[in-house]
Protein backbone atom coordinates (compact mmCIF):
# COMPACT_ATOMS: atom_id res chain seq x y z
CA UNK A 1 0.00 0.00 0.00
CA UNK A 2 1.27 3.47 -0.82
CA UNK A 3 1.65 5.79 2.14
CA UNK A 4 1.79 9.57 1.72
CA UNK A 5 5.25 11.07 2.38
CA UNK A 6 7.10 7.80 1.78
CA UNK A 7 9.24 7.01 -1.24
CA UNK A 8 8.12 3.34 -1.42
CA UNK A 9 5.12 1.07 -0.59
CA UNK A 10 4.90 -0.79 2.73
CA UNK A 11 3.71 -4.36 3.00
CA UNK A 12 0.33 -4.94 4.62
CA UNK A 13 0.33 -6.97 7.83
CA UNK A 14 -1.01 -10.55 7.79
CA UNK A 15 -4.81 -10.51 7.91
CA UNK A 16 -4.99 -7.38 5.75
CA UNK A 17 -4.71 -6.56 2.07
CA UNK A 18 -4.83 -3.62 -0.34
CA UNK A 19 -5.66 -3.13 -3.98
CA UNK A 20 -3.39 -1.61 -6.65
CA UNK A 21 -2.82 2.08 -5.91
CA UNK A 22 -4.52 1.85 -2.55
CA UNK A 23 -3.18 4.11 0.18
CA UNK A 24 -4.23 1.90 3.16
CA UNK A 25 -4.52 -1.73 4.19
CA UNK A 26 -7.97 -3.18 4.87
CA UNK A 27 -8.90 -6.19 6.95
CA UNK A 28 -9.82 -9.42 5.22
CA UNK A 29 -13.56 -10.06 5.18
CA UNK A 30 -15.09 -12.80 7.30
CA UNK A 31 -14.60 -16.15 5.62
CA UNK A 32 -11.26 -15.17 4.09
CA UNK A 33 -7.69 -14.92 5.37
CA UNK A 34 -4.24 -13.54 4.52
CA UNK A 35 -1.44 -15.56 6.08
CA UNK A 36 1.52 -13.62 4.64
CA UNK A 37 2.54 -9.93 4.85
CA UNK A 38 1.99 -8.00 1.69
CA UNK A 39 -0.46 -10.55 0.31
CA UNK A 40 -2.21 -9.10 -2.72
CA UNK A 41 -5.65 -10.43 -1.87
CA UNK A 42 -7.45 -12.38 0.86
CA UNK A 43 -8.03 -16.06 0.12
CA UNK A 44 -11.37 -17.78 0.84
CA UNK A 45 -11.20 -20.29 3.69
CA UNK A 46 -11.01 -23.94 2.68
CA UNK A 47 -14.31 -25.78 3.00
CA UNK A 48 -15.79 -26.08 5.60
CA UNK A 49 -13.74 -23.61 7.65
CA UNK A 50 -14.60 -20.03 8.48
CA UNK A 51 -12.90 -17.00 9.96
CA UNK A 52 -13.55 -13.61 11.51
CA UNK A 53 -12.51 -10.30 9.92
CA UNK A 54 -8.78 -9.77 9.74
CA UNK A 55 -7.92 -13.46 10.10
CA UNK A 56 -4.44 -14.78 9.36
CA UNK A 57 -5.71 -18.38 9.35
CA UNK A 58 -9.08 -20.13 9.20
CA UNK A 59 -9.44 -21.92 12.52
CA UNK A 60 -13.12 -22.58 13.18
CA UNK A 61 -15.98 -24.35 11.44
CA UNK A 62 -18.49 -22.45 9.36
CA UNK A 63 -22.26 -22.56 9.71
CA UNK A 64 -23.90 -26.04 9.62
CA UNK A 65 -20.69 -27.63 10.90
CA UNK A 66 -19.23 -28.11 14.36
CA UNK A 67 -15.71 -28.58 15.73
CA UNK A 68 -15.33 -32.20 16.81
CA UNK A 69 -12.44 -31.59 19.19
CA UNK A 70 -10.12 -28.78 20.20
CA UNK A 71 -6.78 -28.63 18.39
CA UNK A 72 -4.06 -26.24 17.28
CA UNK A 73 -5.41 -23.85 14.58
CA UNK A 74 -2.67 -24.97 12.19
CA UNK A 75 -3.80 -28.61 12.53
CA UNK A 76 -7.44 -27.64 11.95
CA UNK A 77 -6.44 -25.62 8.89
CA UNK A 78 -4.38 -28.43 7.42
CA UNK A 79 -7.10 -31.10 7.88
CA UNK A 80 -10.43 -29.26 7.99
CA UNK A 81 -12.67 -32.26 7.22
CA UNK A 82 -11.10 -34.23 10.07
CA UNK A 83 -12.15 -31.62 12.61
CA UNK A 84 -15.29 -30.05 11.13
CA UNK A 85 -18.26 -32.39 10.97
CA UNK A 86 -21.76 -31.82 9.58
CA UNK A 87 -24.28 -30.57 12.11
CA UNK A 88 -26.36 -33.45 13.57
CA UNK A 89 -29.96 -33.80 12.35
CA UNK A 90 -32.35 -31.32 14.04
CA UNK A 91 -29.44 -29.46 15.69
CA UNK A 92 -28.40 -25.83 15.15
CA UNK A 93 -24.78 -25.02 14.28
CA UNK A 94 -23.81 -21.40 13.74
CA UNK A 95 -20.30 -20.17 12.91
CA UNK A 96 -17.63 -21.24 15.39
CA UNK A 97 -19.76 -23.99 17.01
CA UNK A 98 -18.04 -26.71 19.03
CA UNK A 99 -19.43 -30.12 19.97
CA UNK A 100 -20.31 -28.94 23.48
CA UNK A 101 -22.14 -25.84 22.22
CA UNK A 102 -24.29 -27.40 19.51
CA UNK A 103 -27.68 -25.73 19.53
CA UNK A 104 -30.34 -28.16 20.78
CA UNK A 105 -33.80 -26.90 19.77
CA UNK A 106 -36.89 -27.14 21.96
CA UNK A 107 -38.35 -30.62 21.93
CA UNK A 108 -34.95 -32.33 21.81
CA UNK A 109 -32.50 -33.61 24.42
CA UNK A 110 -29.05 -35.16 24.47
CA UNK A 111 -27.47 -37.28 27.16
CA UNK A 112 -24.15 -35.42 27.28
CA UNK A 113 -22.50 -32.29 25.82
CA UNK A 114 -19.90 -34.64 24.33
CA UNK A 115 -22.52 -36.50 22.29
CA UNK A 116 -23.65 -35.55 18.79
CA UNK A 117 -26.89 -37.59 19.04
CA UNK A 118 -30.10 -35.66 19.72
CA UNK A 119 -33.19 -37.46 21.01
CA UNK A 120 -36.71 -36.21 20.31
CA UNK A 121 -38.55 -35.84 23.62
CA UNK A 122 -41.74 -37.90 23.73
CA UNK A 123 -45.03 -36.21 24.53
CA UNK A 124 -46.29 -38.86 26.99
CA UNK A 125 -49.91 -38.13 26.16
CA UNK A 126 -49.72 -34.34 26.11
CA UNK A 127 -50.07 -31.94 23.21
CA UNK A 128 -46.51 -30.96 22.21
CA UNK A 129 -45.52 -31.72 25.79
CA UNK A 130 -42.03 -32.75 24.68
CA UNK A 131 -41.29 -29.18 23.58
CA UNK A 132 -42.54 -27.85 26.91
CA UNK A 133 -40.30 -30.15 28.98
CA UNK A 134 -37.22 -30.09 26.76
CA UNK A 135 -36.41 -26.40 26.40
CA UNK A 136 -33.12 -26.98 24.54
CA UNK A 137 -30.19 -24.55 24.68
CA UNK A 138 -30.77 -22.27 21.69
CA UNK A 139 -30.98 -19.39 24.12
CA UNK A 140 -27.29 -18.58 23.61
CA UNK A 141 -25.42 -21.82 23.05
CA UNK A 142 -21.98 -20.23 23.01
CA UNK A 143 -22.52 -18.46 26.30
CA UNK A 144 -23.94 -21.65 27.84
CA UNK A 145 -20.85 -23.77 27.18
CA UNK A 146 -19.62 -23.71 30.75
CA UNK A 147 -23.09 -24.35 32.16
CA UNK A 148 -23.50 -27.31 29.80
CA UNK A 149 -20.34 -28.95 31.03
CA UNK A 150 -21.40 -28.44 34.64
CA UNK A 151 -25.09 -29.38 34.33
CA UNK A 152 -24.83 -32.09 31.70
CA UNK A 153 -28.08 -33.32 30.16
CA UNK A 154 -30.29 -31.35 32.61
CA UNK A 155 -29.24 -28.13 30.87
CA UNK A 156 -31.67 -29.00 28.09
CA UNK A 157 -34.65 -29.34 30.45
CA UNK A 158 -37.15 -26.65 31.36
CA UNK A 159 -37.24 -25.60 35.04
CA UNK A 160 -38.88 -28.27 37.18
CA UNK A 161 -37.87 -31.23 34.99
CA UNK A 162 -34.87 -33.55 34.95
CA UNK A 163 -33.71 -36.98 33.84
CA UNK A 164 -33.60 -38.59 30.39
CA UNK A 165 -35.80 -36.69 27.94
CA UNK A 166 -36.65 -34.44 30.92
CA UNK A 167 -39.41 -36.91 31.82
CA UNK A 168 -38.89 -36.77 35.60
CA UNK A 169 -40.08 -34.09 38.00
CA UNK A 170 -37.24 -32.31 39.76
CA UNK A 171 -39.26 -31.95 42.97
CA UNK A 172 -39.39 -35.02 45.21
CA UNK A 173 -42.62 -36.99 45.53
CA UNK A 174 -44.07 -35.56 42.31
CA UNK A 175 -45.18 -37.25 39.09
CA UNK A 176 -45.64 -36.24 35.46
CA UNK A 177 -49.15 -35.40 34.23
CA UNK A 178 -50.05 -34.98 30.52
CA UNK A 179 -46.36 -34.93 29.67
CA UNK A 180 -45.63 -31.37 30.84
CA UNK A 181 -46.99 -30.86 34.37
CA UNK A 182 -45.85 -32.10 37.77
CA UNK A 183 -48.26 -32.94 40.61
CA UNK A 184 -47.67 -34.15 44.13
CA UNK A 185 -48.13 -37.86 44.82
CA UNK A 186 -50.90 -39.10 47.10
CA UNK A 187 -49.98 -40.93 50.34
CA UNK A 188 -48.97 -44.53 49.72
CA UNK A 189 -50.96 -45.85 52.67
CA UNK A 190 -54.24 -44.67 51.19
CA UNK A 191 -53.43 -46.28 47.84
CA UNK A 192 -52.49 -49.57 49.51
CA UNK A 193 -55.78 -49.56 51.41
CA UNK A 194 -57.76 -49.04 48.23
CA UNK A 195 -55.91 -51.87 46.47
CA UNK A 196 -56.59 -54.24 49.39
CA UNK A 197 -60.24 -53.20 49.34
CA UNK A 198 -60.52 -53.94 45.63
CA UNK A 199 -58.94 -57.41 46.02
CA UNK A 200 -61.25 -58.25 48.91
CA UNK A 201 -64.24 -56.87 47.07
CA UNK A 202 -63.47 -58.94 43.97
CA UNK A 203 -63.14 -62.10 46.03
CA UNK A 204 -66.45 -61.48 47.81
CA UNK A 205 -68.22 -60.59 44.55
CA UNK A 206 -66.92 -63.71 42.79
CA UNK A 207 -67.89 -65.89 45.73
CA UNK A 208 -71.41 -64.49 45.86
CA UNK A 209 -71.79 -64.87 42.10
CA UNK A 210 -70.75 -68.53 42.17
CA UNK A 211 -72.97 -69.20 45.16
CA UNK A 212 -75.99 -67.54 43.53
CA UNK A 213 -75.44 -69.41 40.25
CA UNK A 214 -75.35 -72.73 42.11
CA UNK A 215 -78.80 -72.12 43.67
CA UNK A 216 -81.10 -74.03 41.31
CA UNK A 217 -84.27 -73.01 43.15
CA UNK A 218 -83.51 -69.31 42.59
CA UNK A 219 -84.24 -69.67 38.85
CA UNK A 220 -87.93 -69.21 39.70
CA UNK A 221 -87.50 -66.06 41.79
CA UNK A 222 -88.87 -62.77 40.48
CA UNK A 223 -85.79 -60.58 40.48
CA UNK A 224 -82.71 -62.78 40.28
CA UNK A 225 -84.38 -65.59 38.32
CA UNK A 226 -84.25 -63.88 34.88
CA UNK A 227 -80.54 -63.10 35.36
CA UNK A 228 -79.73 -66.71 36.26
CA UNK A 229 -81.76 -68.08 33.35
CA UNK A 230 -80.01 -65.64 31.00
CA UNK A 231 -76.67 -66.84 32.36
CA UNK A 232 -77.72 -70.46 31.71
CA UNK A 233 -78.62 -69.67 28.10
CA UNK A 234 -75.38 -67.73 27.59
CA UNK A 235 -73.30 -70.62 28.88
CA UNK A 236 -75.23 -73.04 26.65
CA UNK A 237 -74.67 -70.97 23.51
CA UNK A 238 -71.06 -70.28 24.46
CA UNK A 239 -70.21 -73.96 24.91
CA UNK A 240 -72.37 -75.14 22.00
CA UNK A 241 -70.77 -72.67 19.61
CA UNK A 242 -67.24 -73.68 20.59
CA UNK A 243 -66.50 -70.11 21.61
CA UNK A 244 -63.76 -70.99 24.08
CA UNK A 245 -61.23 -71.77 21.36
CA UNK A 246 -62.11 -68.62 19.41
CA UNK A 247 -61.91 -66.41 22.49
CA UNK A 248 -58.56 -67.92 23.51
CA UNK A 249 -57.10 -67.25 20.05
CA UNK A 250 -58.39 -63.68 19.98
CA UNK A 251 -57.32 -63.02 23.55
CA UNK A 252 -53.87 -64.49 22.88
CA UNK A 253 -53.42 -62.16 19.91
CA UNK A 254 -54.22 -59.07 21.94
CA UNK A 255 -52.05 -60.26 24.81
CA UNK A 256 -49.12 -59.94 22.39
CA UNK A 257 -50.27 -56.85 20.48
CA UNK A 258 -50.86 -54.81 23.62
CA UNK A 259 -47.21 -55.18 24.71
CA UNK A 260 -45.69 -54.28 21.32
CA UNK A 261 -44.92 -50.75 22.45
CA UNK A 262 -43.19 -51.65 25.72
CA UNK A 263 -41.49 -54.83 24.48
CA UNK A 264 -40.46 -54.02 20.91
CA UNK A 265 -40.68 -50.18 20.94
CA UNK A 266 -43.25 -50.57 18.14
CA UNK A 267 -46.90 -49.64 18.02
CA UNK A 268 -49.94 -50.51 15.95
CA UNK A 269 -52.04 -47.64 14.55
CA UNK A 270 -54.21 -45.91 17.16
CA UNK A 271 -57.43 -47.01 15.44
CA UNK A 272 -56.54 -50.58 16.39
CA UNK A 273 -55.24 -49.90 19.89
CA UNK A 274 -57.44 -47.12 21.27
CA UNK A 275 -59.57 -49.55 23.29
CA UNK A 276 -57.00 -52.32 23.74
CA UNK A 277 -54.77 -49.98 25.75
CA UNK A 278 -57.44 -49.86 28.44
CA UNK A 279 -57.81 -53.64 28.22
CA UNK A 280 -54.05 -54.06 28.59
CA UNK A 281 -53.99 -51.90 31.70
CA UNK A 282 -56.73 -54.04 33.23
CA UNK A 283 -55.06 -57.33 32.35
CA UNK A 284 -51.66 -56.16 33.58
CA UNK A 285 -52.81 -56.36 37.22
CA UNK A 286 -50.69 -53.32 38.03
CA UNK A 287 -53.36 -52.20 40.46
CA UNK A 288 -50.96 -49.77 42.09
CA UNK A 289 -51.19 -47.63 38.95
CA UNK A 290 -54.92 -47.06 39.40
CA UNK A 291 -54.39 -45.14 42.63
CA UNK A 292 -50.70 -44.25 42.64
CA UNK A 293 -49.00 -43.02 39.43
CA UNK A 294 -45.94 -44.94 38.27
CA UNK A 295 -43.44 -42.23 39.20
CA UNK A 296 -44.77 -42.21 42.76
CA UNK A 297 -43.79 -45.84 43.32
CA UNK A 298 -40.48 -47.38 42.30
CA UNK A 299 -40.60 -50.12 39.68
CA UNK A 300 -39.35 -52.70 42.16
CA UNK A 301 -42.30 -52.07 44.47
CA UNK A 302 -44.75 -52.00 41.56
CA UNK A 303 -43.34 -55.31 40.36
CA UNK A 304 -43.94 -56.92 43.76
CA UNK A 305 -47.56 -55.73 43.74
CA UNK A 306 -48.12 -56.87 40.14
CA UNK A 307 -46.59 -60.31 40.64
CA UNK A 308 -47.96 -61.20 44.07
CA UNK A 309 -51.52 -59.84 43.95
CA UNK A 310 -52.71 -62.49 41.44
CA UNK A 311 -51.06 -65.18 43.57
CA UNK A 312 -53.04 -63.99 46.58
CA UNK A 313 -56.23 -63.89 44.51
CA UNK A 314 -55.74 -67.44 43.18
CA UNK A 315 -54.79 -68.71 46.66
CA UNK A 316 -57.97 -67.22 48.11
CA UNK A 317 -59.95 -68.83 45.31
CA UNK A 318 -58.46 -72.26 45.95
CA UNK A 319 -58.90 -71.82 49.68
CA UNK A 320 -62.56 -70.99 49.15
CA UNK A 321 -63.06 -74.22 47.20
CA UNK A 322 -61.45 -76.26 49.95
CA UNK A 323 -63.46 -74.45 52.65
CA UNK A 324 -66.75 -75.12 50.85
CA UNK A 325 -65.94 -78.83 50.51
CA UNK A 326 -64.92 -79.11 54.16
CA UNK A 327 -68.14 -77.37 55.22
CA UNK A 328 -70.13 -80.08 53.47
CA UNK A 329 -67.75 -82.77 54.79
CA UNK A 330 -68.52 -81.87 58.41
CA UNK A 331 -72.20 -82.79 57.97
CA UNK A 332 -71.62 -85.84 55.75
CA UNK A 333 -72.27 -89.34 57.06
CA UNK A 334 -70.21 -91.35 56.69
CA UNK A 335 -67.37 -88.91 56.29
CA UNK A 336 -64.88 -89.52 53.45
CA UNK A 337 -61.18 -89.04 54.02
CA UNK A 338 -60.29 -85.42 54.85
CA UNK A 339 -57.41 -85.13 52.39
CA UNK A 340 -59.52 -86.56 49.57
CA UNK A 341 -62.28 -84.05 50.21
CA UNK A 342 -59.76 -81.20 50.37
CA UNK A 343 -58.31 -82.33 47.02
CA UNK A 344 -61.78 -82.30 45.47
CA UNK A 345 -62.33 -78.79 46.85
CA UNK A 346 -59.11 -77.73 45.20
CA UNK A 347 -60.25 -79.22 41.89
CA UNK A 348 -63.66 -77.54 42.15
CA UNK A 349 -62.17 -74.10 41.54
CA UNK A 350 -59.16 -75.21 39.50
CA UNK A 351 -60.92 -74.20 36.24
CA UNK A 352 -61.31 -70.64 37.51
CA UNK A 353 -57.69 -70.60 38.64
CA UNK A 354 -56.48 -71.81 35.23
CA UNK A 355 -58.52 -69.12 33.49
CA UNK A 356 -56.93 -66.46 35.71
CA UNK A 357 -53.44 -67.80 35.00
CA UNK A 358 -54.18 -67.87 31.26
CA UNK A 359 -55.36 -64.25 31.38
CA UNK A 360 -52.62 -62.81 33.53
CA UNK A 361 -49.40 -64.77 32.96
CA UNK A 362 -48.33 -63.11 29.65
CA UNK A 363 -48.79 -59.55 30.91
CA UNK A 364 -47.31 -60.25 34.34
CA UNK A 365 -44.36 -62.03 32.72
CA UNK A 366 -43.88 -59.05 30.41
CA UNK A 367 -43.79 -56.76 33.46
CA UNK A 368 -41.18 -59.01 35.06
CA UNK A 369 -38.95 -59.10 31.99
CA UNK A 370 -39.23 -55.32 31.55
CA UNK A 371 -36.86 -55.11 34.50
CA UNK A 372 -34.13 -55.65 31.88
CA UNK A 373 -35.64 -53.28 29.32
CA UNK A 374 -33.42 -50.22 29.11
CA UNK A 375 -33.36 -47.17 26.83
CA UNK A 376 -29.81 -46.41 25.70
CA UNK A 377 -28.49 -42.90 24.98
CA UNK A 378 -25.12 -42.12 23.40
CA UNK A 379 -22.71 -40.08 25.53
CA UNK A 380 -19.45 -40.54 23.59
CA UNK A 381 -18.13 -38.26 20.82
CA UNK A 382 -18.44 -39.55 17.25
CA UNK A 383 -14.69 -40.12 16.93
CA UNK A 384 -14.44 -42.39 20.00
CA UNK A 385 -15.67 -45.93 20.75
CA UNK A 386 -19.41 -46.02 21.37
CA UNK A 387 -20.30 -45.37 24.99
CA UNK A 388 -23.89 -45.24 26.18
CA UNK A 389 -25.85 -44.65 29.34
CA UNK A 390 -29.09 -46.58 29.80
CA UNK A 391 -32.18 -45.98 31.91
CA UNK A 392 -35.09 -48.28 32.63
CA UNK A 393 -37.98 -47.73 30.25
CA UNK A 394 -40.46 -48.29 33.06
CA UNK A 395 -38.63 -46.14 35.62
CA UNK A 396 -36.39 -43.48 34.11
CA UNK A 397 -34.99 -42.60 37.54
CA UNK A 398 -33.06 -45.90 37.60
CA UNK A 399 -29.86 -46.13 35.58
CA UNK A 400 -29.30 -49.63 34.22
CA UNK A 401 -26.27 -51.47 35.52
CA UNK A 402 -26.26 -49.68 38.87
CA UNK A 403 -26.93 -51.19 42.29
CA UNK A 404 -30.50 -49.87 42.23
CA UNK A 405 -31.12 -51.65 38.95
CA UNK A 406 -29.50 -54.87 40.15
CA UNK A 407 -31.78 -54.95 43.20
CA UNK A 408 -34.79 -54.83 40.86
CA UNK A 409 -33.45 -57.55 38.56
CA UNK A 410 -32.69 -59.76 41.58
CA UNK A 411 -36.37 -59.59 42.56
CA UNK A 412 -37.38 -60.19 38.94
CA UNK A 413 -35.33 -63.40 38.79
CA UNK A 414 -37.39 -64.83 41.64
CA UNK A 415 -40.63 -63.85 39.93
CA UNK A 416 -39.47 -65.50 36.68
CA UNK A 417 -39.39 -68.79 38.59
CA UNK A 418 -42.85 -68.08 40.01
CA UNK A 419 -44.69 -66.90 36.88
CA UNK A 420 -43.17 -67.71 33.44
CA UNK A 421 -41.38 -70.89 34.51
CA UNK A 422 -43.89 -71.84 37.20
CA UNK A 423 -46.97 -71.47 34.99
CA UNK A 424 -45.31 -73.42 32.17
CA UNK A 425 -44.35 -76.22 34.58
CA UNK A 426 -47.88 -76.20 36.03
CA UNK A 427 -49.58 -76.47 32.64
CA UNK A 428 -47.17 -79.18 31.49
CA UNK A 429 -47.56 -81.20 34.70
CA UNK A 430 -51.35 -81.08 34.65
CA UNK A 431 -51.50 -82.09 30.99
CA UNK A 432 -49.02 -84.92 31.56
CA UNK A 433 -51.17 -86.21 34.42
CA UNK A 434 -54.17 -86.21 32.07
CA UNK A 435 -52.44 -88.28 29.39
CA UNK A 436 -53.64 -91.76 30.33
CA UNK A 437 -57.27 -90.83 31.15
CA UNK A 438 -57.59 -88.85 27.92
CA UNK A 439 -56.10 -91.59 25.76
CA UNK A 440 -58.28 -94.19 27.44
CA UNK A 441 -61.33 -91.93 27.06
CA UNK A 442 -62.09 -92.36 30.75
CA UNK A 443 -62.42 -88.83 32.21
CA UNK A 444 -61.88 -88.30 35.90
CA UNK A 445 -62.01 -85.37 38.32
CA UNK A 446 -58.61 -84.06 37.15
CA UNK A 447 -59.42 -84.13 33.42
CA UNK A 448 -62.72 -82.37 34.09
CA UNK A 449 -61.02 -79.71 36.24
CA UNK A 450 -58.33 -79.08 33.61
CA UNK A 451 -60.66 -79.20 30.59
CA UNK A 452 -59.85 -75.53 29.90
CA UNK A 453 -56.37 -76.65 28.81
CA UNK A 454 -57.20 -79.53 26.47
CA UNK A 455 -60.92 -79.64 25.64
CA UNK A 456 -60.61 -77.70 22.34
CA UNK A 457 -57.76 -79.86 21.00
CA UNK A 458 -57.81 -83.27 19.40
CA UNK A 459 -56.64 -86.00 21.72
CA UNK A 460 -53.34 -86.35 19.84
CA UNK A 461 -52.59 -82.66 20.40
CA UNK A 462 -53.97 -82.32 23.94
CA UNK A 463 -50.62 -80.87 25.10
CA UNK A 464 -50.61 -77.93 22.67
CA UNK A 465 -51.77 -75.35 25.24
CA UNK A 466 -48.39 -75.63 27.00
CA UNK A 467 -46.63 -74.92 23.68
CA UNK A 468 -48.90 -71.95 23.06
CA UNK A 469 -48.09 -70.57 26.51
CA UNK A 470 -44.36 -70.97 25.84
CA UNK A 471 -44.76 -69.09 22.54
CA UNK A 472 -46.51 -66.16 24.23
CA UNK A 473 -43.92 -66.03 27.00
CA UNK A 474 -41.09 -65.84 24.47
CA UNK A 475 -42.80 -63.11 22.42
CA UNK A 476 -43.86 -60.99 25.39
CA UNK A 477 -41.02 -61.54 27.83
CA UNK A 478 -37.94 -63.63 27.15
CA UNK A 479 -36.92 -61.48 24.15
CA UNK A 480 -36.27 -58.62 26.58
CA UNK A 481 -33.30 -60.54 27.95
CA UNK A 482 -31.52 -59.82 24.65
CA UNK A 483 -29.49 -56.59 25.11
CA UNK A 484 -30.81 -53.79 22.92
CA UNK A 485 -27.43 -53.24 21.26
CA UNK A 486 -27.40 -56.91 20.18
CA UNK A 487 -31.06 -57.04 19.12
- The pLDDT value recorded for residue 147 is 41
CA 195 to chain centre: 24
CA-based Rg of the chain, rounded to a whole angstrom? 35
Average pLDDT, the chain: 84
Q: Which of 288-292, 360-364, 426-430, 440-444 has the lowest mean pLDDT?
A: 288-292
Report d(CA 105, CA 280) in Å as an integer.
35
The stretch 457-484 carries a mean pLDDT of: 84
Omega within 30 of 0 (cis) for the link into 159: no
pLDDT in tens, 257-297: 766 666 666 655 666 656 656 655 555 555 555 567 778 88
Instruction: For the chain, count helices (H), then strands (E).
Output: 20, 16
Higher pLDDT, 198 or 109: 109
- Say whether pLDDT at 303 is over 70: yes
- The pLDDT value recorded for residue 75 is 94
The stretch 462-468 carries a mean pLDDT of: 92
Tell me phi and psi for residue 66, to 5 degrees.
-135, 155
Percent of the chain exceeding pLDDT 70 equals 87
pLDDT in tens, 150-164: 345 688 999 999 999
pLDDT in tens, 79-110: 999 999 999 999 999 999 999 999 999 999 99
The stretch 341-369 carries a mean pLDDT of: 88
Amino acid sequence: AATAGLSKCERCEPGTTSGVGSSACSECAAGTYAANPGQGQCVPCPYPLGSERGAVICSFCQKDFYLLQSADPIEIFSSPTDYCKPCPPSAECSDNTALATIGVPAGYWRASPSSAVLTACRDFGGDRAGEARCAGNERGAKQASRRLEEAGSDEYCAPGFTGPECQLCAAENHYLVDGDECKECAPRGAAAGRIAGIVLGLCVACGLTVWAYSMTAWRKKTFIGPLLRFADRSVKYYVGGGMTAKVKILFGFYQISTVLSSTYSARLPDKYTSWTDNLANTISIDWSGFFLPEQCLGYGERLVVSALSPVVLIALLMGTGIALRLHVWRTASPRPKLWAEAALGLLDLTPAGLVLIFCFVPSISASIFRSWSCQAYTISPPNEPLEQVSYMRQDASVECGTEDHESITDVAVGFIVLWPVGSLVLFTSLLAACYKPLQAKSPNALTRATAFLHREYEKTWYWWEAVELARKLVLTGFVLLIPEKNA
